Structure 1
Amino acid sequence: MDSKFEAALKKIDDVHSKDPKLVAVTGTNNVEEQIPDELHYANRMTEYLLQHDHKPSELLRLAVRAQHLQRWEIPRADYPMNRMGYLSWRTAQKKRQATHAEDICLSCGYSAEDAARVAALVRKDDMKRDAECQVLEDVACLVFLADQFDKFEQEHGGDREKVVNILKKTWAKMSERGHELALQITMSEQAKGLIEEALAS
């Protein structure tokens, strides 16, 4: 692997490692350890990327790894707690993360064109026509379903319609390959039932 790729990957992970929020993860020999939340998220993104595509491009690997870069520095609570506020927060995050990822790539020796490509993928600029952008979206959806959906469902369990609607929107964002991998995820019976309801409707 190109040394500039390894350097960029390390810089991205160094940023993730500064996340003050820690999560418990079962490591080698089934020993539980605490690691920064966004580093764990990056690891899971890479895991699902390699399930989706066994030979992803170098630039896609960097873009996938750079999702949520310094996400904790712009709290959701800084924006109105409504849909417009959520969309504004998400847009601000994507722009900031893309700029930071682009700067890291440039600092590690990537051309301006390649660095801009990584930034465009992080922003998901062309979801409808860009195959790699669709892969990244699939991967993000898979991590949500595998790692975050149960918690989301518990927090919003009183509003079943909202949960099912979120599942429908998530499913609609994914490709056929994404759907195939999603159906292989081990989930609680409650989560499975909600997904079946979302797909049926």
Structure 2
Amino acid sequence: MNKVEAAIELFDDYNRQDPRKIVVDGVTYPYEYFYALQLYHWVKKLEPAASDVLLLASRCQHIGRWQKPRETYPADKIGYHKWRTDLAKLHAEKAGEFMLQAGMDENSIKAVQHIILKKQLRTDYEVQVMENALCLVFLQFQYNEFLQKHDDETMIRILQKTWNKMTEPGRNAALSLKYNDRGKELISKALSS
């Protein structure tokens, strides 16, 4: 096993400890482990020649996320932003620890952390591939759940923000996904406003 494989195995072992579960096609997965697999899949689909650094980042983008539940922060916008900032730091630290354990060098660790922290979004190609993949995972696996929780106006705002985060490859992939009738209608409204 090479160092990249060793690091991925460490990431996966850790994410399998997520006490939250998700059932997809009758199979139960630890929540963050499932989403790490999906993010990795989308990164490879969007960028078939993805570097080891980008693949590693995709497998640990949200590592250990269950350790900082959203409910432990104030429900307002400031609380939300603090939660997101603290999560990003947690993910970057955990990724670095496991990569070091796998014998990876400092430059590789910093490069993975750069992507996880979304530094230079829009100008760094790999960071943007990751952002596209994150949006696609949301649209493919979480969008329907959001549809059940939010009214049309809120969903249109969420979709517009999601769309604005993506570049053309992400947008084209998003349009190829299957949505229910309300999901399609809201995407259409969001893109035409």
Structure 2 residue 33 is matched with structure 1 residue 39: yes
1:110 deviates by: 1.3
The match for 2:21 is: 22
1:107-130 CA-to-partner distances (Å, cap 9, x unmatched) read 212111111110111111110211
For residue 104 of structure 1, report the CA deviation from its aligned partner: 1.2
- The one-letter code sitting in structure 1 at the alignment partner of 2:187 is I
Whole-angstrom distance in 2 between the partners of 1:128 and 1:71: 24
Question: Which of 175, 179, 186 does residue 194 from structure 1 map onto?
Answer: 186
**Amino acid of the structure 2 residue aligned with 1:51:** K
Indicate yes or no: 2:166 matched with 1:174. Answer: yes
Q: Distance in 2 between matches of 1:50 and 1:14?
A: 21
Q: 2:62 aligns to what SS in structure 1?
A: coil
Q: What amino acid is aligned across from residue 74 of structure 1 in structure 2?
A: K
Counterpart mapping for 1:14-163 below 5 A:
14-26=13-25, 32-157=26-151, 160-163=152-155
101-110 or 185-194, which moves further after superposition?
A: 101-110
Residue deviations 1:15-36 (CA, integer Å, cap 9, x gap): 110001111123xxxxx22110
Distance 1:38 1:114 in 2: 23
Unmatched runs of 5 consecutive residues or more in structure 1: 27-31
1:197 alignment partner AA: K
> Cα distance, 1:132 vs. partner?
0.2
What is the TM-score when the length of structure 2 is the normalising length?
0.97
Q: Within 2, Cα distance between the matches of 1:162 and 1:115?
A: 38
Q: Percent identity?
A: 36
TM-score (norm 1): 0.93
User: What SS does structure 1 have at the residue aligned with 2:27?
Assistant: strand
In 2, the alpha carbon distance for the partners of 1:34 and 1:182 equals: 25
Q: Which runs of 4+ in 1 moved over 2 A?
A: none
Q: Which amino acid aligns with 1:190?
A: R
Q: Find the counterpart in structure 2 of residue 29 from structure 1.
A: none
SS at match of 2:17: coil
What's the CA shift string for 1:22-53, capped at 9, x where partnerless? 11123xxxxx2211011111111111112111
Distance in 1 separating the partners of 2:10 and 2:46: 24
Q: Give the Cα separation in 2 of the matches to 1:130 and 1:93.
A: 21
The alignment's C-alpha RMSD in Å is: 1.0
